[in-house]
Amino acid sequence: MCLAALAAMPLRAQTADPQINYGFGGSVVNRDMLWASDFAELSRTHLFGTARAMGMGGAFTSLGADLTSMSLNPAGLGMYRSSEFSFTPLVSVSHASTGGTATWQNNNKTRFAFANIGVALNVFESGTGALTSLTFGLGLNRIADFNTRYSFSSESLFEPSAGNGAPVLMPTIGDIFSQQLNSWGTRPVKNGDDSYSLPIQDLHPSVWLATLGYDGYMVDYFADGGNNPWGVARIGGNASVLHSMDVVNSGSINEFDISLGGNINNIVYFGATLGIQSVYKRTAMTYQEEYGYFNTNGVAQSFNRETGAWEDMTDQLEMMNLYQRMTIDGSGVNLKLGVVVRPIAGLRLGAAFHTPTYYSLDYSYRAGITTCIVQTEDIINNGPVHGVEAGNDSPTATNEGPDSWSFTSPARLMFGASYTFGNFAIVSVDYERDWYNGIRMKDVPRYNDLSTEDYKAEFKHNFQATNSLRVGAEIRPLPFLALRVGGGFTDSMLKERDTYTYGVNTGMPVTYESCYVSAGLGVSLSRGVSLDIAYQNVSDRLNGYQLFFSQDYDTGDLKTWSGAYETSLTRHYIAMTLNFRF
């Protein structure tokens, strides 16, 4: 591309501002790295386990003789007086909604997986002495499910200003790209054929999106631009912008548990679990903009601030499509300790402590952009014009080996109480506290924008401990039939929601609060075989977020912003457990 030709192109918004140091945030930008919100969301788990535990709302801190005990309170293993093997297939169906928007692609996702598979072996039994029994357990439990999808469209509709006043431009991510290139002092490189380029392979991944914007002809370098030579080109100042977003999350956290539980005189139960976790999360994000010029029969115009007149542009963008893929892959390890006391017949009191999980994570990132350019003479009344496509793909950036990420999740403390009414009914209540303000980064990749101390300050100042309440009940109207209900609620990990809506250095939105209700039934098929079925309805509210925005570091003022969005997720889980006792 010839620099002289670039200089002749009209700017969408010529700025006279001195060079300003901007911070950039929002869900679409800054995805080349992981932020505090990403680590907090990875730390938010959900209790799956067996269908019996799910049907009772997961209120199993003081209950036992269930394979879920290994990942919740391993003291429950001490209540086994025989051995058991069980497995729990799970179907998850998620649905999303974003207020004030229209559906774009798809807001639903269905997935089949295993919630639990494991075995409890009664390895010691004694009729004399204080130690009554010991049970060894091995299990694989799903503790987090990332399979969701949300998609929406929202329009920023241009309204001409009265008279010859300067127009209010509709937000486009091209504004962010030009501001990033100006802030970073990036300059195009002259090639041997007198053309210019930005060699993406030589640039830091934080510049890649803006570089792709240059390759897609969204932004150009204007030699007469002064302190800010980069500007948006080929998007008219009279553009109405249709913003479309599609986020597809896949993956889970599964934990392999090695547990031992003991029984002292059928009064005190104790246990410990070594948990080894496998983490995989993949996010495929597509952000698209479409540009409409409804007041000029589809012709893009640039506003001349000197003359106060609108001028037709020679070529213009119809649309921009930006695709990003982020993958987290790693492992973690923790220790769980628990105790249950039965002071009187029917009453059980339990407590469990989970150490922080130490995670080591690899991260990979890549992006690509496609734009469609059309000549002005080819435009007819905003018709279905298809111009010439442009764009490029980035390399893949990886953080692995010595450049991987590592952090510790919140410590967890749980208390539970339950009462058994003979063989007829059980009522159980749990309370859990998780310290998200205690998350700590251990290693960050080289050349990362933030240090471990920066993350520590972020967790300390903007995050807080969460409180969770779980309740459950079971009744047996017939000796072979059990009916169950339950539910739970977890409050916010954020001190102030607006911090992560309008503050820089933010990643994907985090779950603001979560609540669920559940129901289930159990049937004894024979003396040693039983079948449990459970249904859970989980509602998650995400904190408000923006697609993109820029902020003056000195004044805190927003320069460009997309507007805030709020998304809610509803997930339906259906689980079935087949138990074999021997």
pLDDT in tens, 204-220: 999 999 999 999 999 99
Structural domain includes residue 451: yes
* Contact predicate 151/105, CB 8 Å: yes
Averaged pLDDT, 409-428: 97
Structural domain includes residue 551: yes
Rounded Cα gap, residues 440 and 321, in angstroms: 36
pLDDT at 15 over 70: no
Grade residue 513 by pLDDT with cuts at 50, 70 and 90.
Answer: very high
pLDDT at 132 over 90: yes
Grade residue 389 by pLDDT with cuts at 50, 70 and 90.
Answer: confident
Structural domain includes residue 88: yes
Grade residue 5 by pLDDT with cuts at 50, 70 and 90.
Answer: very low
Q: How far is CA 568 from the centre of its chain?
A: 12
Q: Are strands 196-197 and 219-221 parallel, antiparallel or unpaired?
A: unpaired
Grade residue 19 by pLDDT with cuts at 50, 70 and 90.
Answer: low
pLDDT at 381 over 70: no
What is the average pLDDT score of the chain? Answer: 90
* Contact predicate 236/174, CB 8 Å: no
Structural domain includes residue 178: no
Averaged pLDDT, 532-544: 95
Other Cβ atoms closer than 10 A to 554: 9
Structural domain includes residue 182: no
- Label residue 477 exposed, middle or buried (CB < 10 Å: 0-12, 13-18, 19+): exposed
pLDDT at 390 over 90: no
The residue ranges of DSSP E strands in 422-556, in sequence order, are: 425-435, 440-443, 465-478, 481-490, 511-524, 529-542, 545-546, 549-552
Q: Please give the tally of structural domains in the chain.
A: 1
Most confident of 300-314, 434-448, 554-568: 434-448
Grade residue 184 by pLDDT with cuts at 50, 70 and 90.
Answer: confident
Averaged pLDDT, 383-394: 74
Averaged pLDDT, 14-42: 82
pLDDT at 40 over 70: yes
Per-residue pLDDT tens digits for 102-117: 999 999 999 999 999 9
Structural domain includes residue 460: yes
Averaged pLDDT, 91-103: 95
What is the CATH number for 533?
Answer: 2.40.160.60
Averaged pLDDT, 526-546: 95
Task: Identify the bridge partners of residue 304 per DSSP, sorted by sequence position.
Answer: 309
pLDDT given at position 7: 31
Averaged pLDDT, 139-168: 86
Q: How many residues does the chain have?
A: 582
pLDDT at 564 over 70: yes
The residue ranges of DSSP E strands in 265-314, in sequence order, are: 268-292, 301-304, 309-312
For 85, the domain range is 21-169+236-581
pTM over cut 0.85: yes
Structural domain includes residue 147: yes
Structural domain includes residue 185: no
